Structure formats: C-alpha cells, structure tokens
C-alpha cells in the first residue's frame, strides 16, 4: 500500500533522504467524501456575531441567572402559647412549695446556749478557770451577734446541729461542723468560734461518765 503513495526511488539520493510522495494519489484521496472531525474547536459566542448580553456577562465572570442576594422569607409572627388551667394551677403549687422551703424557721439562741453552757459547766469542775473564762467570754460574743442579727440563717442552723451533737457526745461530728463554719462563714464566726472549738476539745478529753452524772443531776 505504501508503494502507491511513494514515487519510484531516485538512485542519486542518499539512502537516508525522505521519500517523495505522489501528488496524484494525494489528490485522489482529497476527492473522497469528507469525514466529520470530532476534534474541531467551537468558536466562542463573541466570534459568531455581535456580543450579546449573555456573552458580556460570561466575559465579566458573572454567573448566569444568579440573584444578587438570597430571597428573604417573611418571618412568621410568634404564636402565644396558651396555658391550660391545670398547668397554671400546677405552677402556682410549685411556687408555693419553693416559697415555703426557702422560709427560715425560727431558731432561738437559748436552745443552742442551753447545751453549750451545760458542756461548759461540766468542764468547770475539771478544767482551769482561765480556760473556762475565755470560753464563756467567746460564747457571750456569740449571743450578742445572734441577738443583734449579725448571724445568717445557715450559721444559726449549723450551730443548732452542732449543739445537738455535743449533747449526744458526738465530738467528731461537732468538730466537723465547727470546721465547716470556719471555712464557709469565717467573717461571721471568727470572733467566737475559737471558744466553741476549745469547748469541744476540753469536753472530748473528759470521761464520758462525767456527762452522764451531770445529766442525771439536772
């Protein structure tokens, strides 16, 4: 097949010279029906005629049919939630429970001092007078601050529990409450809590029979 496209060789040409193709056979090939070329490039829109709006937008890099801002949806008006009578009554009951739980019960200072003075009376027969006098002085400061309204309800409540633990001779529990008061309410208890601490320490060192005898005599 290659012989049809190439002329007879020329002996005067070198062995590595390119062959000469036949012009007539090339013309015959050009007369054949043309095939559709799939690699033909399509010209851009602006080369087919006057520039259109679409072409100008494409040249400027602006997306076609793209809105400048997202559509704004109208906000629905808020709906007022209706409260049923049962729900309203339940909320009123809950508020009543919370109010009653937050109310401060009346804790009288005499209830607390009755136990503290009892423990101090037991110590006076076996502890140095100077120590007992200092404890009594601190306890008087407690009474003054209590009656003048300088003590908060949490302090009064814990002191009431502390007095009950002393009455039961639960010295560890009483000492733990005294430490919690110092940590949480130092500004209120700093002036008189030293006397309560010393009272617990001196009472702990005494025999348990001493408190039993004092209680039976009372």
Contact criterion met (CB below 8 Å) for 26 and 46: no
What pLDDT, on the 0 to 100 scale, is given for residue 5? 47
Query: With a threshold of 0.85, does the pTM exceed it?
Result: no
By the 8 A CB rule, do 175 and 200 touch? Answer: yes
Note the pLDDT of residue 104.
65
Which range among 18-32, 65-79, 177-191 has the greatest average pLDDT?
177-191
Phi/psi region, residue 129 (left: phi>0; alpha: psi -120 to 50; beta: rest), is alpha
Domains of the chain, residue spans: 109-217
Q: Count of residues for the chain?
A: 218
Asked if 120 and 139 count as a contact pair (C-beta separation under 8 A), the reply is yes
pLDDT digits (tens, 9 = 90+) for 147-206: 999 999 999 999 999 999 999 999 999 999 999 999 999 999 999 999 999 999 999 999
pLDDT band of residue 91 (cuts 50, 70, 90) is: low
Cα 48 vs. chain centroid, distance in angstroms? Answer: 65
Distance CA 117, CA 62 (A): 93
Best CATH choice for the domain 109-217 from the list 1.10.132.10, 1.20.940.10, 1.10.10.10, 1.10.260.40:
1.20.940.10
Spatial CA neighbour of 47 closest among 63, 58, 36, 39: 58
Q: Which of helix, strand or coil describes residue 69?
A: coil
Which pLDDT score is estimated for 208? 86
CA angle 13, 18, 19 (to 5 degrees): 80
pLDDT score, position 106? 80
Predicted pLDDT of residue 184: 95
Whether the per-residue pLDDT at 131 is higher than 90: the answer is yes
Share of the chain above pLDDT 70, in %: 50
Q: What average pLDDT does this structure show over 108-124?
A: 95
pLDDT of residue 68: 55
């Amino acid at each position: 097949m290659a012989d049809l496209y190439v002329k007879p060789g020329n002996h005067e040409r070198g062995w590595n010279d390119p062959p000469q193709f036949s012009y007539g056979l090339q013309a015959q090939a050009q007369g054949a029906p043309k095939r559709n070329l799939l690699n033909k490039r399509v010209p851009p829109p602006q080369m087919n005629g006057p520039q259109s709006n679409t072409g100008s937008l494409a040249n400027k890099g602006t997306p076609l049919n793209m809105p400048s801002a997202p559509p704004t949806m109208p906000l629905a008006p808020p709906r007022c939630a209706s409260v049923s009578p049962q729900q309203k009554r339940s909320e009123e009951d809950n508020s009543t429970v919370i109010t009653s739980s937050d109310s401060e019960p009346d804790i009288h200072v005499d209830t607390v001092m009755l136990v503290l003075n009892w423990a101090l009376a037991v110590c006076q027969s076996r502890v140095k007078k100077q120590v007992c006098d200092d404890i009594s002085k601190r306890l008087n400061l407690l009474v003054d601050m209590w009656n003048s309204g300088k003590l908060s309800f949490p302090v009064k409540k814990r002191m009431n529990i502390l007095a009950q633990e002393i009455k039961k001779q639960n010295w560890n529990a009483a000492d733990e409450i005294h430490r919690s008061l110092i940590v949480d309410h130092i500004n209120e208890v700093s002036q008189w809590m030293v006397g309560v601490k010393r009272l617990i320490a001196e009472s702990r060192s005494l025999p348990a029979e001493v408190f039993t005898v004092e209680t039976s005599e009372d």
